[in-house]
Structure 1
Amino acid sequence: MGKQEAFVLRALEERDVRFVRLWFTDVLGSLKSVSIAPAELEGAFEEGIGFDGSAIEGFARVHEADMLAKPDASTFQILPWRGETPATARMFCDIHLPDGTPSYADPRYVLKRAMGKAAEAGFSYYTHPEVEFYVFKGKPEKGGRPVPVDDSGYFDHTAQGGSQDFRREVITMLEGMGISVEFSHHEGGPGQQEIDLRYADALSTADNIMTFRTVVREVALSQGKWASFMPKPYTDQPGSGMHTHVSLFEGDENAFYEAGAQYQLSGTGRAFIAGVLQHSAEIAAVTNQWVNSYKRLAAGDEAPNHICWGRNNRSALLRVPMYKPNKSGSARVEHRGLDSGGNPYLAFALILAAGLKGVEEGYELPPETEDDVWSLSERERKALGIPSLPRNLDEAIRTMENSDLAAETLGEHVFDFFLRNKRREWQDYRTQVTQFEIDRLMSIL
């Protein structure tokens, strides 16, 4: 048994932990949990906890259902909302097959595998997400308009504001679990919040995002509110994105930085951006995985719907933040397409794979887009060579189906299941009669 496992077993006694929750994520990004007694944990470290994989979205077919959840001791944390005595802890798990090999269906393993490929090329992979979400006064009634907790706007400070108290409790809870927060503020929509997590390696960040969603929902429920990471809950208000800053390091050196180069951007950085741009359409079904995701992208505002890059251009899909003198470590690329409702393990893996493809094959970076892309006509965008992201989930699925990069990165099982699930979602959606159609057509047809 390793030092980390031994530390966890000691902590169980010292913190009077009575319940240990083992967390993992299904292919669609939903958090799963099984609770075990502390006495069972040593065996779980050594052998894992068996479960029926066929009951989990995308994990296994019935005839290959047996799987093992093996806790990762480095992710041990006390859950603060469960009280201090007796305490409840959690750990993320890696999923294994009965023979001990990693499960092909585990999203965490998909990201580990992609990061392993980057490591073989000498790179470590870091991400820093800006997570947006809405908070409502209560769980929205079916068919009704959600009622936001406030009518505030971007960066608003409201005396005795409920949103401030909400964010403060979320951040206190996150930091109590060892998850560092960099910024927080009110976003542009009524009741819309943003909390930015400090940069970390991509696997830790993905784990932190899953914990973040849980903490936000737990705090909301404790206050009689309802939190949602739905990309576009209101037709007439901004959607919720998850702008994510990405960087590669070679040892302690930022691989995206080169002193004296144009924009201080290295050849590696330029090729990485070119790779992400080249493959953005074919990974969009994962970076924006819901029918509703494309309502956010179509709306404009600060949501990109065209494939281009720029520096101080918030209409671009990828943005290179202006270089900070004497801070070479801060050189990075901001992906503005992601929303906060997807599977972070799969999304981060595909962004990395796309960027590395550009580096490996020496992709040329297209010219920077300085114009506000939303204000250009379709003809003007075509003349500038600016392609569009998929306009809906159906287009995204059809593009991903032909992607060798997505199939290789996700693995055959995840790739096939994900596409099957998304096709079913699109079919269910396209047969629905919406309120828009009733309001628009009932009186005239």
Structure 2
Amino acid sequence: MERQHDAVLRTVAERNVRFVRLWFCDVVGTLKSIAISPEDLESAFDEGIGFDGSTIEGLTRAYESDMLLRPDPATFQLLPWRGETEGTARMMCDVLTPDGEPAASDPRRVLKDALARAEAKGLELYLHPEIEFYLFREPYQSGEPLVPIDSAGYFDHVHKGAGKDFRRTAIQYLEQMNIQVEYSHHENGPGQNEIDLRYTDALTAADNILTFRTVVKEVALTMGQSATFMPKPMIEHPGSGMHTHLSLFQGGKNAFHEPGAEYGLSRLARQFIAGLLRHAPEYCALTNQFVNSYKRLWGAQEAPSYVTWGHNNRSALVRVPFHKPTKGTSSRIEFRGADSACNPYLAFAALLSAGMAGIEGEYELPEGAEDTVWELTERERRAMGIEPLPSDLYRALEVFEGSELMASVLGEQVFEYFLRNKHQEWQRYREQVTPQELSTTFHLI
């Protein structure tokens, strides 16, 4: 039987691939890349490719800078926008220490470890992300106004619209890279789009999201536009979220499904939801990692701001979508808190671990909320036991820092670096004097 390594080497030779890009990401989730020649590919598989890890955010400390990249042959794909002649391929990589051990600071390793803990209990996580983003007319220049490519709204069909042409090209590229798309449409905001990726295992989903963001930005640039996954780029328009559908499978069957149960949810599924709710303030800094993320969460009733769940309730942090009673595989939950700018490896590891804590601790699921939570008064929310999510990054970091669960999920190195990086971001934000402050305060005294 042909090894995956050998299949990749054969494809590179047959397709006359000129460069192979090794992809990985830093702790924040920024894609990093190094190109190697096909002649170096076999040694990359066997020994890894060395690089200076101290130059990458959070990967290592300066005095232990030597790191290795080992490509994952299962992720080999040609980059469609690089052309057919002397093309370029990419593979996702695991980051290793010089002695070949998984690097404690590698975000992909963090997710793989969380998945291994669940798999030890016979459970596999599957995900379906719905990714929102904005398209603007010109490549972004600092200080210039943002001009969306259209003025359309939710599900609008824009005749000869740039967004429709954009989505068509992006989806073609994604599918050529074996990333299957389920839906695509215009979102609520002007120039805002959504592309939903098909259900797959969690590690593949995280790899796909990193690739997706790259494809979207590449297509935008080729069309003379700019794309952003910034959670809230414009004050007056909705932010961009990444609603994520989750389900656990056990022995090939959906462990979230129980025939005849309310909403078709098994006891295990209800415990998983309870874990997501109880630990939500602790992992909020990972699913919503930027100062700007909280402009979306606490915007004009557009994203979940409170820790609750419901069935037909889109203001809830966790929603149980309609399921087909005769189709057990359709039972799932939808986490609506994450934004499109999170590091998917860390965010998915945190969500899985919070849900697993609910299962292992046999948490009881509180009453759901079918009322729109935003429309309740503070007194009504308190009476129902509905707590708010952190209102800004600083408060999210306070809860995150005290979380034993998050420290154990991320490991000491990622946990400490993430905290340091995000406190620096908050400090820089606090030091700014904004145009809004000048316009409201300059002439007061």
Matched residue SS, 1:273: helix
Counterpart of 1:333 in structure 2 is 333
Q: Is the 8 A contact 1:302 1:314 kept in 2?
A: no
In the alignment, the residues of structure 1 paired with residue 190 and residue 261 of structure 2 have an alpha-carbon distance, to the nearest angstrom, of 42
Amino acid paired to 1:256: F
In the alignment, the residues of structure 1 paired with residue 393 and residue 109 of structure 2 have an alpha-carbon distance, to the nearest angstrom, of 25
Matched residue SS, 2:388: coil
In the alignment, the residues of structure 2 paired with residue 201 and residue 92 of structure 1 have an alpha-carbon distance, to the nearest angstrom, of 15
Counterpart of 1:160 in structure 2 is 160
Matched residue SS, 2:125: strand
Kindly report which structure 2 residues correspond to 1:72-83, keeping only aligned pairs within 5 A, or say none. 72-83=72-83
Counterpart of 1:291 in structure 2 is 291
Q: Residues 2 and 281 (structure 1 numbering): CA distance in 2 closer, same or farther, change over 3 Å? A: farther
Counterpart of 2:386 in structure 1 is 386
- TM normalised by structure 1 equals 0.99
Amino acid paired to 1:402: G
> 1:13 Cα shift?
0.8
In the alignment, the residues of structure 2 paired with residue 154 and residue 80 of structure 1 have an alpha-carbon distance, to the nearest angstrom, of 30
> 1:158 Cα shift?
1.5
> 1:444 Cα shift?
1.9
In the alignment, the residues of structure 2 paired with residue 294 and residue 2 of structure 1 have an alpha-carbon distance, to the nearest angstrom, of 49
Counterpart of 1:410 in structure 2 is 410
Kindly report which structure 2 residues correspond to 1:296-315, keeping only aligned pairs within 5 A, or say none. 296-315=296-315
Amino acid paired to 1:429: Y
Counterpart of 2:266 in structure 1 is 266
Counterpart of 1:5 in structure 2 is 5
Deviations 1:38-86 (A, max 9, x none): 0000000000000011000001111111110000000000000001101
- TM normalised by structure 2 equals 0.99
> 1:144 Cα shift?
3.0
5+ residue gaps, structure 2: none
Q: List structure 1 runs of 4+ shifted beyond 3 angstroms.
A: none
Matched residue SS, 1:17: coil
In the alignment, the residues of structure 2 paired with residue 359 and residue 284 of structure 1 have an alpha-carbon distance, to the nearest angstrom, of 20
Structure 1 residues 147-156 or 133-142, which shifts more?
Answer: 133-142
Q: CA RMSD in A?
A: 0.9
Counterpart of 1:126 in structure 2 is 126
Deviations 1:67-120 (A, max 9, x none): 100000000000000011011000000011011110000000000000000000
Counterpart of 1:135 in structure 2 is 135
Deviations 1:217-242 (A, max 9, x none): 00000000000000000100000000
Q: Is the 8 A contact 1:346 1:410 kept in 2?
A: yes
Structure 1 residues 370-379 or 128-137, which shifts more?
Answer: 370-379
Amino acid paired to 2:225: K
In the alignment, the residues of structure 2 paired with residue 256 and residue 345 of structure 1 have an alpha-carbon distance, to the nearest angstrom, of 22
5+ residue gaps, structure 1: none
Kindly report which structure 2 residues correspond to 1:59-208, keeping only aligned pairs within 5 A, or say none. 59-208=59-208
In the alignment, the residues of structure 1 paired with residue 38 and residue 263 of structure 2 have an alpha-carbon distance, to the nearest angstrom, of 53
> 1:300 Cα shift?
4.0
> 1:123 Cα shift?
0.2
Kindly report which structure 2 residues correspond to 1:3-82, keeping only aligned pairs within 5 A, or say none. 3-82=3-82
Q: Is the 8 A contact 2:139 2:221 kept in 1?
A: no
Counterpart of 1:372 in structure 2 is 372
In the alignment, the residues of structure 2 paired with residue 222 and residue 323 of structure 1 have an alpha-carbon distance, to the nearest angstrom, of 40
Between the two proteins, the alignment pairs up a number of residues equal to 445
In the alignment, the residues of structure 2 paired with residue 311 and residue 396 of structure 1 have an alpha-carbon distance, to the nearest angstrom, of 26
Amino acid paired to 1:373: V
In the alignment, the residues of structure 1 paired with residue 80 and residue 264 of structure 2 have an alpha-carbon distance, to the nearest angstrom, of 43
Counterpart of 1:351 in structure 2 is 351
In the alignment, the residues of structure 1 paired with residue 331 and residue 261 of structure 2 have an alpha-carbon distance, to the nearest angstrom, of 12
Amino acid paired to 2:39: A
Matched residue SS, 1:207: helix
Amino acid paired to 2:420: R
Matched residue SS, 1:334: strand
Amino acid paired to 1:134: Y
Deviations 1:3-26 (A, max 9, x none): 100000000111100100000011
> 1:142 Cα shift?
2.1
In the alignment, the residues of structure 2 paired with residue 207 and residue 191 of structure 1 have an alpha-carbon distance, to the nearest angstrom, of 26
Q: Is the 8 A contact 1:238 1:301 kept in 2?
A: no
> 1:436 Cα shift?
1.1
Matched residue SS, 1:112: helix
Matched residue SS, 2:342: coil
In the alignment, the residues of structure 1 paired with residue 300 and residue 119 of structure 2 have an alpha-carbon distance, to the nearest angstrom, of 36
> 1:261 Cα shift?
1.3
Q: Is the 8 A contact 2:270 2:364 kept in 1?
A: yes
> 1:2 Cα shift?
6.7
In the alignment, the residues of structure 2 paired with residue 53 and residue 159 of structure 1 have an alpha-carbon distance, to the nearest angstrom, of 48
